[in-house]
C-alpha cells in the first residue's frame, strides 16, 4: 500500500495533498483529556508507551489523517540530558534555567537514548497498529529552540537570556548547540529505527533572530542534523519548521538539505512555492480551524489553487489550539478530499 505523505515527499504527484496537523493529538480532543487525566503529569504521559501510543492514534481513528505524529514533546531531550523540566497547569513548561558555562557541566550526553527508550517503544507500538496508508512521523526540537527553553527556563517574551549568552559567549553557546545537535540527531535516528518513516524538526523560535544569527544557530545546526541522518539513515525524509523565519525560509530551503519545510501562517504561499527549494507544508491559520464554516472552506480552496499540482502537504502554520471544535477538523479533512 502506498502512503500519500511518502509519495509527496518523494516529489511525486498525488490526486489530493496528504493532510496531518501539528498538535493533532491534544487538549481539543475529549478523548485526549480523558487519557491525560488518567496519566498524572504531562511528562508521565510522554513516558508511558501504552498511553502515548493511544493518544497518538486518537486523531487517526477520528479523522483519518495521512500521518500520525508520535505523542511526545520537544522538551524530553533537555530532560534526558539531565535538566529539570516540569509542566505546570496553565503555565506551560518550567525548566531549571541554565545561565552560563557552568550550567553546561550539569548536562550529560551519556544515557540520553536509554532515558528516551519509552518514546521508541511507543513508536513501535504505533507502527504496528497504523492503517496501511498512514505514515508515522517522529520529531524533535531544533537546537536553537531547545536552547532558548533551557536558558530562559520556559517560554519567553524577549529571549534576552538566550541572546545574552549567544552574543556574549558564543563559544560556550556553540558547545550547547553542538551538544543538542548531537542529541537530536541520535534521538531522531532511534525514532527511525523504531518505525518513524519521516521526521520533523521544530524550530519554533527561529523567527526571533537576526539573519546572521539565524544562519549560525538555526541553518548550520539543521544542516548538520540532516547530514548526519543522511549518513546514518539515508532516504528518510526530513521536514524542517523554522517558524517565523520570513525571508530566511529561502536560505533554509537551499542550505539545510531538508526534504520539506513547514511554513508558518505569515509566509505568503505563492512566494514560498516558487522561492523555497523544498517541498512545502502548511500554512493554514490555526484560528480558521476555530472559526470554521465559510472562511475555513474558502481558505482551503485558495491554498489548493495556489499550490496547483505541485507536491504539497496540507497542514497548519502552527499547532491546533485547545479551543478548536473537533467537528471543524473533520470538515477540513472532508472538504480537502472532496
Ligand atoms: O500531536 C502532536 O503534534 C505531537 C505532540 C507534540 C506536543 N508538543 C504535545 C504537547 C509536539 C510535536 C509538540 C512540540 C512542541 N512542544 C513544540 C514545537 C511546536 C510548537 O508548538 O511551537 C514546543 C515549543 C513544545 C514545548 C511545549 N510543550 C509547550 C510550550 C507547551 C505548553 C503549551 C501548551 O500548549 O500547553 C507544551 C505542552 C504540550 N505538548 C501539550 C501537548 C499536547 C499540552 C499539554 C497538556 O496536555 O497539558
Q: For residues 70 and 25, what is the distance between their CA atoms, to the nearest angstrom?
A: 9
Q: Is the CB of 24 under 6 A from ligand 1?
A: yes
Active site residue 182: no
Q: Is the CB of 52 under 6 A from ligand 1?
A: no
Active site residue 216: no
Question: CB of 77 within 8 A of CB of 149?
Answer: no
Domain count for the chain: 1
pLDDT along the chain (338 residues), means of 10: 94 94 98 96 97 98 98 98 93 92 91 97 98 98 98 97 96 97 98 98 98 98 98 98 98 98 98 97 98 98 96 98 98 96
Residue ranges of E strands in the chain: 67-69, 85-88, 92-95, 135-141, 198-203, 238-242, 260-263, 279-284, 312-316
pLDDT of res. 13? 86
Burial class (CB in 10 A: 0-12, 13-18, 19+), 115: middle
Q: Is the CB of 86 under 6 A from ligand 1?
A: no
Catalytic residue among 28, 32, 47, 149: 149
Active site residue 190: no
186: which residues sit within 8 A by CB, 6+ positions away?
A: 112, 113
What are residue 173's phi and psi, to 5 degrees? -65, -40
Q: Where residue 152 sits, what CATH number does that domain have? A: 3.20.20.210
pLDDT digits (tens, 9 = 90+) for 53-81: 999 999 999 999 999 999 999 999 999 99
Atom of ligand 1 nearest to the CA of 27: 47
pLDDT digits (tens, 9 = 90+) for 11-70: 998 999 999 999 999 999 999 999 999 999 999 999 999 999 999 999 999 999 999 999
pLDDT of res. 55? 98
315 forms beta bridges with 283
Closest CA to 74 of 243, 204, 214, 193: 204
Q: Best substitution site from 61, 74, 83, 141 to test ligand 1's pocket, by max atoms within 8 Å of Cβ?
A: 74
Atom 17 (ligand 1): residue with closest C-alpha?
74
Atom 37 (ligand 1): residue with closest C-alpha?
92
Q: Best substitution site from 37, 264, 282, 319 to test ligand 1's pocket, by max atoms within 8 Å of Cβ?
A: 319
Domain extent for 126: 4-337
pLDDT of res. 303? 98
Atom 28 (ligand 1): residue with closest C-alpha?
73
Atom 40 (ligand 1): residue with closest C-alpha?
73
Q: How far is the CA of 14 from the centre of ligand 1 (A)?
A: 30
Catalytic residue among 28, 36, 249, 264: 36
Q: How far is the CA of 178 from the centre of ligand 1 (A)?
A: 24
Q: Look at residue 29 and give its three-state secondary structure.
A: coil
Question: CB of 276 within 8 A of CB of 259?
Answer: no
Active site residue 203: no
Closest CA to 179 of 112, 132, 271: 112
Strand 85-88 with 92-95, pairing: antiparallel
Active site residue 62: no
Give the chain's length: 338
**What letters, b where the CB count within 10 A reaches 16 and e where it falls short, cover 145-159?**
bbbbbbbbbbebeeb
Q: Is the CB of 315 under 6 A from ligand 1?
A: no
200 forms beta bridges with 139, 239
Q: Is the CB of 312 under 6 A from ligand 1?
A: no
Amino acid at each position: 500500500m502506498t502512503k500519500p505523505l511518502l509519495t509527496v515527499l518523494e516529489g511525486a504527484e498525488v490526486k489530493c495533498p496528504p493532510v496531518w496537523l501539528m498538535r493533532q493529538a491534544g487538549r481539543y480532543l475529549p478523548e485526549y483529556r480523558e487519557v491525560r487525566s488518567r496519566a498524572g503529569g504531562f511528562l508521565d504521559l510522554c513516558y508511558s508507551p501504552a498511553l502515548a501510543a493511544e493518544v497518538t492514534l486518537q486523531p487517526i481513528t477520528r479523522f483519518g489523517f495521512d500521518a500520525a505524529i508520535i505523542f511526545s514533546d520537544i522538551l524530553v531531550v533537555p530532560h534526558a540530558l539531565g535538566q529539570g523540566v516540569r509542566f505546570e497547569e496553565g503555565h506551560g513548561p518550567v525548566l531549571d534555567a541554565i545561565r552560563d558555562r557552568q550550567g553546561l557541566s550539569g548536562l550529560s550526553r551519556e544515557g540520553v537514548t536509554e532515558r528516551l527508550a519509552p518514546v521508541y517503544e511507543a513508536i513501535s507500538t504505533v507502527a504496528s497498529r497504523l492503517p496501511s496508508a498512514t505514515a508515522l512521523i517522529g520529531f524533535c526540537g531544533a537546537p536553537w529552540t531547545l536552547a532558548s527553553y533551557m536558558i530562559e527556563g520556559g517560554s519567553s517574551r524577549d529571549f534576552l537570556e538566550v541572546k545574552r549568552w549567544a552574543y556574549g559567549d558564543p563559544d560556550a553557546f556553540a558547545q550547547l548547540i553542538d551538544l543538542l545537535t548531537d542529541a537530536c540527531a541520535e534521538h531522531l535516528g532511534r525514532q527511525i529505527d523504531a518505525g518513524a518513516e519521516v521526521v520533523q524538526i521544530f524550530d519554533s523560535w527561529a523567527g526571533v533572530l537576526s539573519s546572521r544569527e539565524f544562519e549560525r544557530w538555526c541553518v548550520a545546526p539543521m544542516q548538520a542534523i540532516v547530514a548526519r541522518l543522511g549518513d546514518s539513515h539515508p532516504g528518510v525524509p526530513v521536514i524542517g519548521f523554522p517558524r517565523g523565519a520570513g525571508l530566511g525560509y529561502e536560505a533554509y530551503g537551499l542550505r539545510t538539505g531538508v526534504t520539506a519545510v513547514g511554513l508558518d501562517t505569515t509566509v505568503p504561499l505563492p512566494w514560498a512555492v516558487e522561492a523555497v527549494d523544498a517541498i512545502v507544508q502548511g500554512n493554514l491559520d490555526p484560528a480558521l480551524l476555530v472559526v470554521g464554516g465559510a472562511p475555513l472552506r474558502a481558505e482551503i480552496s485558495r491554498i489548493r489553487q495556489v499550490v496547483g499540482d505541485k507536491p504539497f502537504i496540507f497542514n497548519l502554520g502552527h499547532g491546533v489550539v485547545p479551543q478548536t471544535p473537533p467537528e471543524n477538523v473533520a470538515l477540513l479533512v472532508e472538504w480537502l478530499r472532496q
